[in-house]
Amino acid sequence: MIEKTSAGPITVFVTGAHTNFAVFLMKNPHLKRNIEHIYVMGGGVRSNNPTGCCPKHGTPHCHPRQCGDPGNLFTDYNTNPYAEFNIFGDPFAAYQVFHSGIPVTLVSLDATNTIPITEEFFKAFEQSQWTYEAQYCFKSLKMARDTWFDDRFYTSYFMWDSFTSGVAVSIMRNYGKNNGENEFAEMEYMNISVVTSNEPYGICDGSNPLFDGLHFPKFKLNKSGLHSGHVQMGLRDPFCFVENGNGKCKDGYTEEGTGPDSVRVLVATKAKPNHDLTSKLNREFFTNFLDVLNRPENTARFNLTTEFPHFRQAFYEPDFKNRTLGKPVVFDMDMSAGDFMAFFYLLKVPVELLNLKAILVSPTGWANAAAIDIVYDLLHMMGRDDIPVGLGDVFAMSQSDQIFHLVGDCKYAKAIPHGSGGFLDSDTLYGLARDLPRSPRRYTAENSVKFGAPRDTDQPELRQPLALEIWISILKTMDPGSKINILTNGPLTSLAKIITRTNSTSFIQNVYIVGGHISRSSLDEGNVFTIPSNKYAEFNLFLDPIAAKTVFKSGLNITLIPLGTQRKVSRFVETIKRLQLTRTPEARFVKSLLSRLYTLKQAHHRYRHTDIFFGEILGAILMAGDQRKLKPTMQEMPIKVIAEGTEAIDGQILIDEKHGKLVQILKNIDPMAYYDQFADRLGDEKQSAVLGSYDEQRKMWNTPPNRT
C-alpha cells in the first residue's frame, strides 16, 4: 500500500474487513492526500433483510429469523441484528476508514439486497462461459448453490462484491458527476457513522480492549466517548443476547444520524432494473456482468489442462499383495512443520513393520483446514494415494456454538500466531508446499445426501471424509483380533471424539501422544509463548484441554512424549548435516524445510520457538525406530490434565497420586541415535518418492505418455 499510494493518486476498493486499510491510514496519515476515493462493500443503513422470513401463507409454526433486520449476521441475529459481516469483522477499523476524511462510496445491503441471484441469471450464466474466468466463476457459484443449506438460494444469495465493483467502475467512468451517477445503482448521500461499542458509555466491564485495564485509553480516545461502551464478546454475549428475539448490540452497524460524529457518505440504495424490458434478466448489472466476464480482452491465458499439453492425473497405489504388513497405525496430525517431517518418516518405515492405515487431520492446531491439500500432495509424492485422510472438527471440544454449530469460539486457537511459525507459515509449509507434486485428491465442497446434505452435488464421491468416518471405515477393514496404534501430533480433538462417539476403544492397542509438559520446577516452563499467564502448558494439550482430559481419563494404554524430552532432541544442525549426505527427494525436501526453520530462528526473534517443531518427530521414531539404539527410558506416572476453562492453567499436567491416570512417560532417549535414525530412514532408497517434486511433475505433463 505504501509503495502504490506514494506513487500518485489512487482509488481503493474495500470488500472485506477494514483492518489492513485502517492500520495503513493510521500509520501513514501523510499519504491520505493521494487516495482519491474509497469504495466499500458492506454495512446496512436503511436495509431490511429479505431472508429468514415466513411465507405469506406459511404455517403458524414458522418463526421469522433475521427477517427485516438491517444486518445480515445470520449466525448471530439473536445478539446483533444490525451489523453486516464486513464491517462487523472490525468495527473500529471501519470507523477509521469512514472518518478518514477521504470520500467514501458505500455499496451497502440496502442495494445488494435488491440484486439476488435469480434462477434466470443462473441459467444465462451457465450458457455464457466463453472465458476461463467465466468458467471458474460459474463453478464457484454453482457450488454455492448446490451446497446451500435450504431451498431458498435464489432469494437469499446476492451479488455483493461483484455488484460493488460494477457500481464503482461505472461511477469512475462518469468522473466529474458529483452524485455518483452510474448504470447499475440508485445513489443517495447519507450521514452515517460506524457503531464500535454499545451504551452506556464509559463503563469498564472487561469487554473493551481499547479501555479496560489501561491507565490511558488506546489512540487517545475519550474515556466517555462513543468507543467506550460495551463491545460485543462472542456469539451469545449475555449483554446482547435476546432469546427468540432480536439482539441488543449494534457493533458494526453503519447507522444513519445527524450528530457531529456522522460523516457524509454516498450510498447505493437500490439496484437498477434492466432497461431492456424483453430480457429475462431483471437487473441491468446482470447483463453487464456476463458481457464483461466473457470479453476476450485481458482474458486468462490458460487453465491447468491447457497450460500443459499432456496433462493427466495419476493415482499411485503400492502393491503389497506378497508382503506381510506390520502393526496398523493411524496418524493424527495438526499439520505443523514437525508433523510433516514425522509424516515423511512414517511413510519411509518398511510396511512390514508399520502399516499406515489413515491420516486424521485436526484443524484445531497450527494450520487451517485448507492445509489438508498438503497432506494429499505429500501422499501423492510418496506413491500412497491409497491412504485415506479424514478431516477433524474445526473447533475444540465445547467451543462450537450450541445453537449454530458451524461457528464457535477460538478461546484456545487464538494462541496460534499468524505468521511466526503459525497460520500462514504452516498453511504453506513455509512456502515449500508449492514444491510438492500436485495430487489429484483435493479438499472439495462436494457433498452427498448420504451424509446429511440437502442434495447431491455434481460429484458427491469427491466429498471430503470426516475423521470419525475414516476411523469407522478403518475398523471395518481390520483383521479379527487385530488392534490399531494411534500416534497423535496435535490437539487430541479427534481422538476424544472417537472415544466419546464410538464404542471402539477396545480396538486401540496403544496411543502415543506427542505433547504435554511435566514441569520440574518454577523455571521449567511450557511453550505456550503467546499466553504469558499460562507458564506451564504445552500447545497440543492447551489447544483442546477438554479433549486432552477426556483422552487421559479413558483408560487407554498411553505413552506420553512430553515437551521436556522433545527439547533434548531439537538440534537443527545435527540433522541438517546428516541429511546433506542423503539423495532421496523426501530427504532433500525435509532438509529444505529444516534449513528454512533454522534460518528463520537465527534471523528473526519471532521465530525463536521453531525448534519445538523438530521435537515433534520423536513420537514417530519412538513408535517405529530401533529401540536398541535409541535406548529409551520410560517411567510410569499418575497424571491428570487441567481443563477448567481458565486460560492461565488449562492444558497443564499435574502429578496426582490419588486421582491421576497411570501413563508411560518417555524420559530420555539417545539424541545421536535419534538424529541418525531419522536421517538414515529418509535417505533409504526403499519406499522412496515416486514423483520427486512439482518441477518433475510439470516435465511429465509436458511430455507425451509414451516418452515418460
3-state per-residue secondary structure call for 145-204: HHCCCCCCHHHHCECCHHHHHHHHHHHHHCCCCCCCCCCCEEEEEEEEEECCCECCCCCC
* CA count, 13 A, side-chain hemisphere, 539: 25
Q: What angle do CA 351, 352, 356 make, to 5 degrees?
A: 35
Q: Each residue of 401-418: pLDDT tens digit?
A: 888 889 999 999 999 999
For residue 434, what is its C-alpha cell?
A: 508449492
Q: Confidence class of residue 706 from pLDDT cuts 50, 70 and 90? A: confident
pLDDT in tens, 444-500: 999 999 999 999 999 999 999 999 999 999 999 998 989 999 999 999 999 999 999
Indicate if the pLDDT at residue 178 is higher than 90: no
User: What's the rounded Cα separation, in Å, for the pair 179 and 194?
Assistant: 22
Q: Read off the pLDDT band of 246 (50, 70, 90).
A: confident
How would residue 565 be classed by pLDDT, with cut points 50, 70 and 90?
A: very high
- For 504-520, the pLDDT digits (tens) are 999 999 999 999 999 99
559/547 Cα distance (integer angstroms): 16
pLDDT on residue 532: 96
pLDDT value of residue 259: 86
Quick check: 296 pLDDT over 70?
Answer: yes
Q: Where on the phi/psi map is residue 16: left (φ > 0), alpha (ψ -120 to 50), or beta?
A: beta
Does residue 58 surpass a pLDDT of 70?
Answer: no
Overall average pLDDT of the 362-368 stretch: 95
Q: Is the pLDDT of residue 176 over 70?
A: no
Place of cell 458505500: 106
Tell me, what's the pLDDT at 25? 97
Cis peptide before 217 (omega within 30 of 0): no
pLDDT digits (tens, 9 = 90+) for 668-701: 999 999 999 999 999 999 999 999 999 999 999 9
Q: Which pTM value belongs to this model?
A: 0.95
Mean pLDDT of the 54-80 span: 84
Where is pLDDT greater, at 354 or 258? Answer: 354
593, 616, 617, 640 from 341: Cα distances, Å: 9, 8, 7, 29
Q: Which of 335, 339, 331, 456 is nearest to 388 (CA)?
A: 331
The mean pLDDT value for 48-75 works out to 84
Averaged pLDDT, 84-89: 97
Which domains does the chain possess?
1-53+64-116+158-196+231-271 (3.90.245.10), 327-441+468-702 (3.90.245.10)
Contacts of 136-142 with C-beta under 8 Å, sequence gap 24+, read 136/303, 137/293, 141/117, 142/458
Among residues 145, 193, 190, 185, the alpha carbon closest in space to that of 164 is found at: 185
- Taking the CA atoms of 234, 236, 241 and 242 in sequence, report the sign of the dihedral they define: positive
Q: What angle do CA 445, 448, 453 make, to 5 degrees?
A: 85
187-200: pLDDT as tens digits: 999 999 999 999 99
Q: Which residues pair with 11 in a beta bridge?
A: 37
Residue 200, pLDDT score: 94
Q: Where do the H-state alpha helices sit in 382-526?
A: 467-477, 493-501
Residue 544 has pLDDT above 90, yes or no: yes
Assign 52 a pLDDT band (cuts: 50, 70, 90): confident
Residue range 442-453, pLDDT digits in tens: 999 999 999 999
Return mean pLDDT, the chain. 95
Give me 674's grid cell: 535419534
The cell for 524 is 521449567
